[in-house]
Amino acid sequence: MTDNELKLATQKTLSEAIDARMTLEALLALQALPTEERTRAALQLSNLVLAYRKITTTRIETIRQDLRDNADDLQAGIDAMKEALKEIADAQKMIAATTQFLSVVGRILVLL
């Protein structure tokens, strides 16, 4: 079982445990318990909710670490495209390219 599969399985178990304790019937029964037991049950339920969220947070932290290298490369791509846009927008270069193309056509026309 991979680390991720283990986390998923744990979250599934935690979710089932939370669901079982959050039904209307279970919550009404909890209200009727003596103070000490009520405290214990409330803290237990809270710990289940917190544990579930802790696993999600850890999963997202791992994902963010994986994205760190990508972020540098994406920024490099953005910078490269900014330069490329400048190059395309360079009217002189485009005039030269079009003129070159037309000159070829022109030379051929002269030969006709």
Using CB under 8 A, list all residues that contact another protein: 4, 8, 11, 15, 18-19, 22-24, 27-28, 30-31, 35, 38-39, 41-43, 45-46, 49-50, 52-54, 56-57, 59-61, 63-64, 66-67, 70-71, 73-75, 77-78, 80-82, 84-85, 88-89, 91, 94-95, 97-99, 101-103, 105-112
Nearer residue to another protein within complex by CB, 6 or 42: 42
Burial (CB count <10 Å: 0-12, 13-18, 19+), residue 48:
buried
Q: Which two tokens stand for residue 63?
A: 């994902």
Distance of closest approach, residue 13 Cβ to another protein, in angstroms: 13
At closest approach, how far in Å is the CB of 6 from another protein? 14
Q: Phi and psi (nearest 5°) for 81?
A: -70, -30
In angstroms, rounded to a whole number, what is the distance separating the alpha carbons of residues 80 and 78?
A: 6
- Closer to another protein by Cβ: residue 6 or 43: 43
Start-to-end CA distance of the chain, whole Å, equals: 76
